[in-house]
Structure 1
Amino acid sequence: MARILVPLAPGCEELEAVTLIDLMRRAGFQVVTAGLEPGPVKCSRGVVLVPDALLEEVHEESFDLVVLPGGLGGADRLNADPRIHALLRRMHAEGRYVGAICAAPKVLGEAGLLQGRSATGYPSVVNALDLPDTRFTDQPVVVDGQVATSTGPGTAMDFALALIELLAGPEKRREVEGPLCRPG
């Protein structure tokens, strides 16, 4: 069973966070949500999420994927946390997956993980990044090696399903996607 870490920071985009958590749990993955600091996390639209653990308690554990929800406020807080950068670099060095959606690809960029890769993200955020060696596209989901990125709240379900397929194959994706009654 795949083990996933979803760090949650105040100001994160709740639609993205909850969609990622929900669909990956439907896939049977062990999903651990971790707050940067103690207590509930107030998201960008006022939804309050209660993390499973503190980042400090789990950031050195082994995960198959670390995926960052967006929301500019949350992404900025993740980006300012040296534990997040260290965790992402360690995951990358170990050949494990890292992912980010919406404004959060900026964190992957700051950690040096987008250099020489194709990626996507929230248009105004990626357009403001100074990453000349990164090929940004307007695709809803981009997977380049062990790095997965997505555009924003409207692509959260596609992103979660792509991550499920990366970790468990197309059959697991179909198993999760079928009962969602998505339009064909």
Structure 2
Amino acid sequence: MPKVLVPLAQGCEELEAVTIIDLLRRAEIEVVTAALTDAPVTASRGTVLLADTTLDAVLDQDFDLIVLPGGLPGAQYLEEDPRLRTMLQRQQSAGRFVAAICAAPKVLASAGLLDGKTATSYPGAIQAADYPQVNFVSAPVVVDGLVVTSRGPGTAMDFALQLIESLLGRARREQVESDLVREV
């Protein structure tokens, strides 16, 4: 079973975080939520999230995917955390998936993980001129090799379903999606 890390920072976008966690768990993927500190996480709309553990407790663990929810100031805190930057760079060096949604693709860009890649993010969250080595597009979800990015809260379900497909294949994604009774 794949193992996924979802770091949670104060001010994260709860719709994105909870959708990712929920759908991946529906696919029977092991999801570990880790707060940057040992305090409960108050998301951007005031929802309080209790992480499974802290980032310090999982620093040396390997994950098949590290996925970053967006939101502000959550994405800023993720970007400023040197522990997470090290984990993300180690993840890419090991040939494992990284993913980010909304403002969080900036975390990947600033760590150099989007160099030479095509990616997307929340409109205006990243100034493309600051990252000329990245091809930014406005698609809802973009997969480029082992990097998956997405636009924002409205694309969170599509993003999470793509993560399931990337980890477990199209059939598992379709099964989870079917159970959601989703009309697309």
Q: TM-score, normalised by structure 2?
A: 0.98
**Superposition CA RMSD, Å:** 0.9
Matched, 1:68 2:68: yes
Whether 1:39 aligns to 2:30 is: no
The CA distance in 1 between the partners of 2:128 and 2:40, in whole Å, is 31
CA contact (8 A) 1:14 1:43 kept: yes
- Percent identical: 58
Aligned AA (1:69): P
Could you tell me which runs of 5 or more consecutive residues in structure 1 were left unpaired when the two chains were aligned: none
List per-residue Cα deviations over 1:27-61 (Å, max 9, x = no partner): 00000000000121000000000000010000210
SS of alignment partner, residue 125 of structure 1: coil
The size of the alignment, in residue pairs, is: 184
TM-score normalised by length of structure 1: 0.98
Tell me the residue number matched to 2:121.
121
The residue identity in structure 2 corresponding to 1:65 is: L
Give the secondary structure class of the aligned counterpart of 2:149. Answer: strand
User: Who is 2:132 aligned against?
Assistant: 132
Q: In structure 1, how many angstroms separate the alpha carbons of the residues matched to 2:13 and 2:129? A: 20
In the alignment, what sits opposite 1:8? 8
Could you tell me how far 1:168 is from its partner in structure 2? 0.2
Contact 1:106–1:129 under 8 Å retained in 2: no
Question: Structure 1, residues 3-49: CA drift from partner, whole Å, max 9, x if none?
Answer: 00000000000000000000000000000000000121000000000
More deviation, 105-114/125-134: 125-134
Q: Secondary structure at the match of 2:125?
A: helix
Query: Partner of 2:87: helix, strand, or coil?
Result: helix
